[in-house]
Amino acid sequence: MTQQAPPAAPASRAAHPVLKVGVLGSGTVGTQVVRLLGEQAEEFAARSGARLEVTGIAVRDLDALRDPAVPRELLTDDATAVATGNDLVVELIGGIEPARTLILAAFRAGASVVTGNKALIAAHGPELYAAAAAAGTDFYYEAAVAGAIPVVYALRESMAGDRVTSVLGIVNGTTNYILDEMSTKGLGFEEALAAAQALGYAEADPTADVDGLDAAAKCAIIASLAFHTRVGIDDVDVTGIRSITADDIREARASGCVLKLLAVAQRREDDHANGVSVRVHPALVPADHPLAGVHGAFNAVLVEAESAGRLMFYGQGAGGAPTASAVLSDVVAAAFHRIGGGQAPRELAYADLPILGPESALTRYQVQLRAVDAPGALAAIMRAMADHGISINSVRQASYVSDGVDPLVTIVTHPAAVLHLDRAVEALRGMEQVREVVSVLRVEGE
Ligand SMILES: NC(=O)c1ccc[n+]([C@@H]2O[C@H](COP(=O)([O-])OP(=O)(O)OC[C@H]3O[C@@H](n4cnc5c(N)ncnc54)[C@H](O)[C@@H]3O)[C@@H](O)[C@H]2O)c1
Ligand SMILES: N[C@@H](CCO)C(=O)O
Ligand code: NA
């Protein structure tokens, strides 16, 4: 009978080589990254093959009040030293500068870099990828899109065997939270925004969330990965949620829909267009659509691919700990490569597809207007839409029409080009049968 060797004892602390980790920024996310690296040091060593030793945390204000999980003795205001003196550099400052300069310095110093900075990637992604390639190190950014949801990994690696045709996502937690609070609790816009800020979902300057720029940056990153084409933030047609009113939300419900801020990235290959369409805007989504049930600060990303069909990714898109989870997955991957070899995927932009202008987008629209309560008014309105090439899907007149009150008419179109729709709406505004065009919203999701 042969004797089996006893199982190997767990690797001891000393068995793991040390990798030095520098953290740039100790705000909502940076604090959680440092806390988790400290609390779960043994597990990170076992998973990555290295002891991840935080050697410095660059902050702007050394005296600011901080979470006790952030060791004071590691704080420094010399961000360049942190960027250039470590094996792994985690950038969680946000914004373009000094983050860009620090990351480039980190690559030049031979470090691998992990960031959650979607604004920077959507503006300077190719430069950062090139710097990583020149250094022969890793560039990871899972936290930059949809926080904890592994959507960067999914698009970059899991979908490498397929052709993605479209990605539709709720990728900004703050605006989803605001719209959801307005819809379910009847909160005002400002009240809901303040709550989102207090919970750590909002960017340092929440206009980036509210005006759709945060979602646009994520949309550009998604489209670059999905379609192997360089897409920057300036390519994305953006409308935020500032002009959304409580009436819009109420009326959305009356139409059997919910109002969401959507990021849309589509591969168009049809009679009208060939290229990539990228846009962020509020849209009505049918109540039974998978994205309609995404509440609070949650995010969801719906990927359509030729062979896989539809895939749905859902989870926490913002907040300190959920975002730290994504950052740390990248830290583990980068550490693993430094110890055992291998590298993160490099930029893949071989398809180099044309970026389509906003005029080529084809979507359904909901137009709400107050019509004059007179015979033939609706017929004239329908004729005007038809004259501008807009095909109507449905028309609804509010059931609460009473004498002397101009009826609210809701028209849903078939897919139309924005140029045709704009011209039709302009014509409606000039008609004597139309008192007021109340709102024009896109409708997305079948
Ligand atoms: N908060 C989230 O839910 C979330 C989710 C996903 C991605 N992100 C991204 O993560 C990054 C960090 O976000 P956050 O929410 O933690 O931001 P934050 O504003 O809470 O933290 C940033 C910190 O960086 C510090 N800082 C600014 N300039 C600095 C400098 N020159 N040197 C050192 N420190 C400096 C600030 O004082 C602040 O403490 C951003 O790129 C953001 O887009 C955040
Ligand atoms: N401010 C962003 C954080 C995640 O990028 C949001 O609300 O989704
Ligand atoms: Na993510």
Q: Which two tokens stand for residue 172?
A: 């900004």
Domain 13-148+322-340, what architecture? 3-Layer(aba) Sandwich (3.40)
Answer with the residue of higher pLDDT: 28 or 13: 28
**Residue-wise pLDDT tens digits, 49-66:** 999 999 999 999 999 989
Burial of 421 by CB count in 10 Å (0-12 exposed, 13-18 middle, 19+ buried)? buried
Cα of 25 from ligand 1 centre, angstroms? 6
CATH of 151-316, one of 3.40.50.2000, 3.40.50.300, 3.30.360.10, 3.40.718.10: 3.30.360.10
Is pLDDT at 4 greater than 70 in this prediction? no
Ligand at shortest distance from the CA of 206: 2
Query: What pLDDT sits at residue 9?
Result: 47
Fold category of 361-443 in CATH:
Alpha-Beta Plaits (3.30.70)
Q: Which of 276, 281, 303 is nearest to 155 (CA)?
A: 303
Give the C-alpha distances (Å, rounded to integers) separating 171 from 278, 314, 316, 363, 411: 14, 10, 10, 20, 28
Domain ranges of the chain: 13-148+322-340, 151-316, 361-443
Average pLDDT over residues 226-235: 98
The dihedrals phi and psi of 13, each to the nearest 5 degrees, come to: -55, -45
**Residue-wise pLDDT tens digits, 402-429:** 556 778 899 999 999 999 999 999 999 9
The CB-side HSE value for 385 (13 A sphere, CA atoms) comes to 25
pTM, whole model, 2 decimals?
Answer: 0.94
Is pLDDT at 399 greater than 70 in this prediction? no
**CA 275, CA 267: separation in Å to the nearest integer?**
6
Average pLDDT over residues 165-182: 96
Q: Which two tokens stand for residue 282?
A: 């509020």
- The reply to whether 28 sits in an annotated binding site is yes
164, amino acid identity? V
Output the residue whose Cα is nearest ligand 1's atom 6.
147
**CA 388, CA 383: separation in Å to the nearest integer?**
9
The dihedrals phi and psi of 19, each to the nearest 5 degrees, come to: -115, 130
| Same fold flag, 13-148+322-340 and 361-443 | no
Cα of 211 from ligand 2 centre, angstroms? 12
Ligand at shortest distance from the CA of 211: 2
Which atom of ligand 2 is nearest the CA belonging to 319? 3
Output the residue whose Cα is nearest ligand 2's atom 4.
318
The CB-side HSE value for 208 (13 A sphere, CA atoms) comes to 18
Ligand at shortest distance from the CA of 141: 3
Cα of 202 from ligand 1 centre, angstroms? 11
Query: Does 92 contact ligand 1 (Cβ within 6 A)?
Result: yes
Cα of 212 from ligand 1 centre, angstroms? 18
**CA 189, CA 175: separation in Å to the nearest integer?**
10
Confidence of residue 200 (pLDDT cuts 50, 70, 90): confident
Is position 185 annotated as part of the catalytic site?
A: no
Return the CA Rg of the chain. 25
On the question of a cis peptide bond just before residue 98, with omega within 30 degrees of 0, the verdict is: yes
Query: What pLDDT sits at residue 16?
Result: 94
The pairing of strands 112-115 and 88-91 is: parallel
The pairing of strands 362-371 and 237-238 is: unpaired
Q: Which residues share a beta bridge with 57?
A: 23, 75
Q: Which of 114, 122, 98 is nearest to 153 (CA)?
A: 114
- The reply to whether 419 sits in an annotated binding site is no
- The reply to whether 203 sits in an annotated binding site is yes
Q: Which two tokens stand for residue 295?
A: 């509440």
Whether ipTM tops 0.95, in short, is: yes
Q: What letter does residue 186 receive in the DSSP assignment?
A: -
- Determine the distance from the C-alpha atom of residue 182 to the mean position of all C-alpha atoms in its chain, rounded to a whole number: 21
Average pLDDT over residues 85-105: 98
The dihedrals phi and psi of 364, each to the nearest 5 degrees, come to: -80, 155
Output the residue whose Cα is nearest ligand 1's atom 10.
116
> What count of residues does the chain have?
446
Choose which residue among 24, 26, 28 to substitute to test ligand 1 binding: the one with the highest number of ligand atoms within 8 A of its C-beta.
28
The CB-side HSE value for 37 (13 A sphere, CA atoms) comes to 33
